[in-house]
Amino acid sequence: MILNEARLAAALPAYELGSQLGRGAFGVVLAGRHRELGRDVAIKVLPIGEGRMAEARLLALLDHPHVVRVFDAVTVDDLHLIVMELLPGGTLTHRAAGISTEAVCAVGLAVAAALACAHQNGVLHRDIKPENILFDRSGLLKVTDFGIAKLVEGAAADASASAVIGTPRYMAPEQLLAGRLSAATDLYSLATMLYELSTGKPPYGAGLPAPSLIAHHLNVLPPPPVGVPARISQVLMRALAKEPAARQPSAHAFAVELAHAAVVELGPGWLARSGLAVRLDDEVRAAADGHPFPHQAARAPYQAARAPHQSRSQPPPPYPVSRPGRRAVVGLASVLVVGVAGLLFILLRNGGDGGDSGRRLAGGGVPDQRSTAPPSTSITAQPPARVGSRNAPELLSTPLAAHTAAVWTVKISPRGDLMATGGDDQVVLLWDVSDPTSPRDLGTRAITHLGRVEDVAFAPDGRTLAVAGEETLRLWDISNPVSPRALGAPLTGYAGLMYSVAFAPGGRLLAAAGSGQAMVLWDVADRARPRLVTRLDGHTASVTFAPDGRTAASGDGTRAVLWDVTAGSSVRATAELPSVAAGWVYAIAFSPDGRTVATAGDARTVQLWDITTPTEPTRLGAPLADHSATVPAVAFSPDGRTLATGSDDGTVLLWDVTDRTAPSRLGEPLTSQSGFSAVAFSPDGHMLATAGGDRLVRLWGLG
């Protein structure tokens, strides 16, 4: 572009024109100064073209301290002139070397705040990357270059892309495929940028050839960022999920998660130590400072008959809840072909992945401003068809891969519509499994934990979840599982790690066990103020209650112990169940009729016990010895006919225990490349959930 300075000066008589600051594919940026106000500005000069003034119009919608401001816009002859604030502090790219974790998190909060403002005004940025993050003279971060941003009707900020546009290294899968875009699209780019700032390289490395870059973004889960604290890594990895639905539901939610993770990992005062000035709303600021922030409005109660995170008055999310039909699959295939073909052409033409040089993809034509109707999100009221059998279980869906580390516990709610999972990534995930063929991550990451999550337990009414682990035991109100909230402070009265937790059938008594105690009991009638009932010394890996609530069982070292819990604080042991070969008892379960107990552990066996008379337990047959490693998981089906056992040998075995004295194997083992640490039946007995060291949760149909 050749500029006529006299013509530009005539078009902007209030400004003195200065030197050229930069030049790009779409125009030139000049320095300028307002004659009367003495304000330094940047003047973007663009050739006339359809949509070229869109950036000025979009920026005029946004009033936020972390968004670059626009002061004026003029069209003269064949040029568009946009007068914006001057940002002499340079780009984020120039500050990336040696950036601290505190500063990376501060950048994340600032950019997320800017995106939240944009999304609330119906604007998607679509090109978040270090080159588009600049700083003003005081060091305040600004999100810039809304030149390829998309304005969509309404505040939902989701739209269908009609062109592949953006910078490939930072583009979300749906953006690469010219698919349906949403706020989650910008979050993927933001997480990619923060990953790169933290590690010095993007999630998939630099300089990948175009086909490999596409394949990685679409199909390969990046490794957790090396050297990044676990909770912060978890926030980034969630935002890098392939499915938009698995990412944070909004830029604000991302900011709250990141702020909470940062204060836990980096300690109080981390934001001040970052060296960056950040303008945050009250809730994000409270999370960054480690203070609770009260929610201003209650959300609609969870109802399993429809998408749990969606009230009837809310617009549906930009992703399908149920499986698409054949027509939808054909449509998706068409999008894949067109999107990937177009992307390959552009990438190969530009010669790379659009890396450090900041090269941008620009598809032909103007982005379509029309928003197509989103697919239906209602969950069918009809029960899903039965799949599999006890002898031949079948996967009901693809394995659930939202966790970023080993999963230690999986539990299903008493109603059977909600599932909770937790493990080494220090977070509990909640899943809608009302249709187990289409399980959905409900998106909340509020239930975080200091240290590994060892176990969770639903209260009998399904409204409270107990979470136990390395550091704390805490109760959560999950009446609305999309917005769980902590109930009071963590429970007290125990010492050491907590390995297991269980509610009594009546819901008033809570038991937990771990290193340093055989069992601890609380009265949780007031969920916000639990009262310690008693504490028994020992070293216990598991605890559970009999169906009648009168007896508890704990795996205490090399034995299981039955306890009479009917007399309040006067808990007494009624019997001991010794382990085979003096192995530690890691798992214990009552049969639904309360007459049988199964114990398992590092003796690699499972033993059934007749406890019809709790004071005189007797062995039922020989130990089940088909596993070749520790057995940390055991569960009875609701009808009592099937026993599931999970082992570190990478198998789950199903047993017919109709005759408790002579159990028999059912079908082939369920297998995994890593060990299984948790098994759980659904209340109707038609589904088995398994989880373990491979980070995956699997749902199996049992007919």
Query: Hey, CA dihedral for 571, 572, 577, 579, is it positive or negative?
Result: positive
DSSP string covering 591-659, please? -TTSSEEEEEETTS-EEEEE-SSTTS-EE-SS-B---SS---EEEE-TTSSEEEEE-TTSEEEEEE-SS
Task: Please say whether the beta carbons of 389 and 702 come within 8 A.
Answer: yes
Tokens encoding 357: 């040089």
Tokens encoding 81: 């002139």
Report how far residue 178's alpha carbon sits from residue 215's, in angstroms, rounded to the nearest whole number: 15
E strand or H helix at 346, and its extent?
helix 326-350
Backbone angles phi, psi at 61, to 5 degrees: -75, -20
Report how far residue 282's alpha carbon sits from residue 369's, in angstroms, rounded to the nearest whole number: 34
In terms of Cα–Cα distance, which of 263, 215, 214 is closest to 235?
Answer: 263
Report how far residue 301's alpha carbon sits from residue 621's, in angstroms, rounded to the nearest whole number: 48
161 Cβ contact partners less than 8 Å away, ≥ 6 residues apart: 150, 174, 175, 178, 179, 180, 181, 367, 368
Report how far residue 188's alpha carbon sits from residue 25's, in angstroms, rounded to the nearest whole number: 25
Rg of the chain over all Cα atoms, to the nearest angstrom: 29
- The strand pair at 498-503 and 440-441 is best described as unpaired
In terms of Cα–Cα distance, which of 189, 174, 181, 178 is closest to 151?
Answer: 181
Task: Please say whether the beta carbons of 26 and 44 come within 8 A.
Answer: no
Report how far residue 661's alpha carbon sits from residue 619's, in angstroms, rounded to the nearest whole number: 9
Report how far residue 183's alpha carbon sits from residue 315's, in angstroms, rounded to the nearest whole number: 14
Report how far residue 703's alpha carbon sits from residue 701's, in angstroms, rounded to the nearest whole number: 6
Q: Of the listed 127, 424, 432, 556, which one is catalytic?
A: 127
Report how far residue 84's alpha carbon sits from residue 144's, in angstroms, rounded to the nearest whole number: 10
HSE (side-chain half, CA atoms, 13 Å) at 675: 16
In terms of Cα–Cα distance, which of 155, 164, 116, 445 is closest to 318?
Answer: 155
In terms of Cα–Cα distance, which of 33, 187, 198 is closest to 99?
Answer: 198
Task: Please say whether the beta carbons of 62 and 42 come within 8 A.
Answer: no
Helix (H, G, I), strand (E, B) or coil at 488: coil
Burial class (CB in 10 A: 0-12, 13-18, 19+), 188: buried
Q: Is 561 left (phi over 0), alpha (psi -120 to 50) or beta?
A: beta
Helix (H, G, I), strand (E, B) or coil at 485: strand
Q: Is 451 left (phi over 0), alpha (psi -120 to 50) or beta?
A: left
130-133-134-135 Cα dihedral, nearest 10 degrees: -110
**Residue 564 designated active-site:** no
Query: Hey, CA dihedral for 526, 530, 531, 533, is it positive or negative?
Result: positive
The residues carrying an active-site annotation are: 127
